[in-house]
Amino acid sequence: MSDRYQGFTTTPIGKLLVKNLGLPSPTKLERYTAGDPLVQGTVLVGGTGRLAESLPGLLDTVGIASTPVAGDGERFKGLVFDATGLTSAAQLSALRDFFTPVMRSLESCPRVVVIGTPPELVSGAERVAQRALEGFTRSLGKEIGRGGTVQLVYVAEGSEAAATSTLGFLLSPKSAYVSGQVVRIGAHGTADVPEVADQTRPLAGKIALVTGASRGIGEQIARVLHRDGATVVGVDVPQAASDLQSLMKELDGDWLTLDITGKDAPQRIAHHLSEKHGGVDVVVHNAGITRDKKLANMGEDRWDSVIAVNLTAPELITRELLDQKVVNAGGSIVGVASIAGIAGNVGQTNYAASKAGVIGFVDSLADELSDGITVNAVAPGFIITQMTAAVPFATREVGQRLNAMAQGGLPVDVAETIAWYAHPGSSQVNGNVVRVCGQMMLGA
């Protein structure tokens, strides 16, 4: 699927109309290609907080070049500011002092990350200052332009060394459609951060389960996890068996065809993973359906089927895998929510309820899990797929433009976010919900 409007804006007449009519002019986003360095350029680092001295070393671990000094005429691919040292509102001026002089020195598709301390872990004036960082980063995300992204990473004290995988993701093209987000590291306790021998294949030797894997976002999740070294076990309905088997054979993976809402589905999945693979390291609940109608016209079947597939099945499957100890120590569970579950959507009370429930599922499990197992969610916004291609033109155009990047995302953007959660270095990223939405203007 392609964005025809974005292509039109690069033509001579398109450029003229954009300029004269003030139309959106989306920047072509840079996305990661296997084999490329994570960041093609230099990252400027600043601040005087807990991570200031260790930042260059953390970035070097994933091959990101950094400098603490901005030379005359030097341009930067990214900016990282350690704001953990800001303990009062008066000290927030340090943000302006660092960012204002270098904002015009950024290359196309730049990445900006501010690091803070979780406000809930501090008090008084420091809590005020740290909470203020959210307004700063979200606003900067809406004005940075040129395909740029801005994120806030709250790092709990003692979890500084656990920030590497998150910095690598947020400073790279892997996070092309993620902006204005708040990530918490170590807020739900600490876990060991294992060394990763090969940063290009962090999931080598791992088993990854992906439901709804035969096409669309699920297919891209399978491909990206395979790229990162995982053996993928794809699950989909029997009607999709041909596509599923073809994809899994291409990826040297395994497959299982069943209806995840079936009474024996959790047991069958647990048995398959245990008997054939000795367990599972990554569980991605991607399978989902829509049955849209306004609530006044909502039939029982439309409601029940959406809740069953999108919410009840992931709950029951996860519970079975945990109870049977099929999820290996240090494993990662990821739910696919939706921006509809956060902001709501006309005609989708059933779908929005199910996706908000996925977020509740993450909240309920985050403090319950043991053995270093984490649970997180992604909440996609307007992602260009075969399903969205069938949406009426006007509705589709509004959906794609109503975000800071003025364009829709791609299935790979969701997949890259899930791969970051699954990365062994993300062992202290737990209980997060990250929106893959280009920073929607409403509800995000």
- Residues recognised as catalytic: 351
Q: Which residues of 100-116 are buried (b: 16+ CB within 10 A; e: fewer)?
A: eeeeebbbebbbbbbbb
d(CA 16, CA 36): 35
Q: Which run of H or of E encompasses 244?
A: helix 241-250
Give the CB-side neighbour count of residue 84, counting CA atoms within 13 A: 21
CB of 185 within 8 A of CB of 163?
Answer: yes
Kindly report the backbone phi and psi dihedral angles of residue 322, in degrees, each rounded to the nearest multiple of 5, phi listed first.
-75, -45
Q: What angle do CA 195, 197, 199 make, to 5 degrees?
A: 95
CA distance 444 to 440: 6
Start-to-end C-alpha separation, the chain: 25
d(CA 353, CA 374): 23
Place of tokens 């409403």: 442
Say if CB 172 and CB 38 are below 8 A apart.
Answer: yes
Helix (H) or strand (E) holding 18: helix 12-21
Query: Any residues with CB less than 8 A from the CB of 132 and at least 6 apart, and which?
Result: 89, 92
Provide the residue type at 91 as one letter.
Answer: Q
Give φ, ψ of 43 to 5 degrees. Answer: -105, 130
CA distance 432 to 410: 21
- The Cα–Cα gap between 75 and 108 comes to 10
Ramachandran bin of 111, using left for φ above 0, alpha for ψ from -120 to 50, beta for the remaining angles:
beta
Spatial distance between the Cα atoms of 178 and 240, rounded to a whole number of angstroms: 30
Cα(300)–Cα(304) distance, integer angstroms: 6
